[in-house]
Amino acid sequence: MLRGGRSPTDPDGGSTAGATGDALAPAGRDGRPTAGITAYQVGSIDIGHRGPIAEIVRTTGMFGEHEIAIALELFDATYGLPSGGADTGDAGEGSDYEFLGLFDPTGVLLGYACFGPTPGTDRGYDLYWIAVTPAAQGGGGGTFLIGEVERRLRGRNARLVLAETSSRAAYAPTRAFYVARGYIEGARVRDFYGPADDRVMFTKRLQPAPRIRGSRGGEAR
Ligand SMILES: CC(C)(COP(=O)(O)OP(=O)(O)OC[C@H]1O[C@@H](n2cnc3c(N)ncnc32)[C@H](O)[C@@H]1OP(=O)(O)O)[C@@H](O)C(=O)NCCC(=O)NCCS
């Protein structure tokens, strides 16, 4: 169960997922411990979260070093380079990427999403990254976080969200996550990432598809 709220640190209107104990903090699935979280919050990310984000991405075990480097490149492009580099100090203003953090009630970062407008599209957005720390996975945090991303995008009149992932078996739970959240497989590029490793492109419409006069059946663009 979610209840709206506004995080004092989050100008875009952060929310709190109220959990009545078991609802959002069930016993760990597959024997994994949960973090015993009773409520989630979303809020702003800042440059100090670079280390925790690297740790979250690494500990999911789902990403290779090359992908971890890309995740951090997106972070650095948004918040400035780590020590020695130019810190833009503008908390991502003007960047093509936007970060949203998932926090526990004490302010510990549990996960994050990175998204941004898809160049050359009419109100299309890419969900570049979403990750939740393993101890909190399966506790509803990812659902809350992606819901908040979508809520913010709807507020900007966004039309379509695109999330890409791999067809490998290891990503079956990730694909199930997207499908259960209303995403459909919009396209697939066979063997894109490697042999028998397809690029699966999930999309979700944030607005009803327009009716095209005279069209019969089929999905309007
Ligand atoms: C995908 C991910 C962000 C979902 O976050 P989450 O907090 O585990 O998700 P929730 O608890 O809200 O939802 C759980 C649902 O997601 C799916 N899921 C995906 N990974 C899961 C995991 N490790 N543990 C439990 N459920 C998982 C299940 O289908 C589950 O569905 P159900 O609720 O119908 O049973 C998170 O599991 C994760 O970080 N995975 C590794 C990184 C990744 O694959 N990122 C996406 C590609 S960039």
Query: What pLDDT digit, counting tens, does each position of 130-177 carry?
Result: 999 999 999 999 999 999 999 999 999 999 999 999 999 999 999 999
Work out the pLDDT band at 12, boundaries 50, 70, 90.
low
User: What is the average pLDDT across 40-45?
Assistant: 97
Whole-number Å distance between alpha carbons of 75 and 98: 9
Q: What is the pTM of this model?
A: 0.83
163 Cα: distance to centroid of ligand 1 (angstroms): 14
Q: Which amino acid is at 166?
A: S
59 token code pair: 């500990």
Amino acid 215: pLDDT: 57
Mean pLDDT of the chain: 82
Whole-number Å distance between alpha carbons of 38 and 102: 13
If one counts every other C-beta atom within 10 angstroms of the C-beta of residue 42, the result is 28
Amino acid 30: pLDDT: 39
* Pair 72, 112: CB distance under 8 Å: no
User: Ligand 1 in contact with 112 (CB < 6 A)?
Assistant: no
Work out the pLDDT band at 94, boundaries 50, 70, 90.
low
175 Cα: distance to centroid of ligand 1 (angstroms): 9
131 Cα: distance to centroid of ligand 1 (angstroms): 8
Whole-number Å distance between alpha carbons of 117 and 101: 18
Task: Tell me the chain's radius of gyration from C-alpha atoms.
Answer: 18
Angle at 96 between CA 6 and CA 123, to 5 degrees: 80
Whole-number Å distance between alpha carbons of 39 and 73: 30
Whole-number Å distance between alpha carbons of 40 and 51: 20
User: Ligand 1 in contact with 62 (CB < 6 A)?
Assistant: yes
Amino acid 28: pLDDT: 37
Candidates 22, 114, 137, 148: which one to mutate for ligand 1, based on the most atoms within 8 Å of Cβ? 137
User: Ligand 1 in contact with 176 (CB < 6 A)?
Assistant: yes
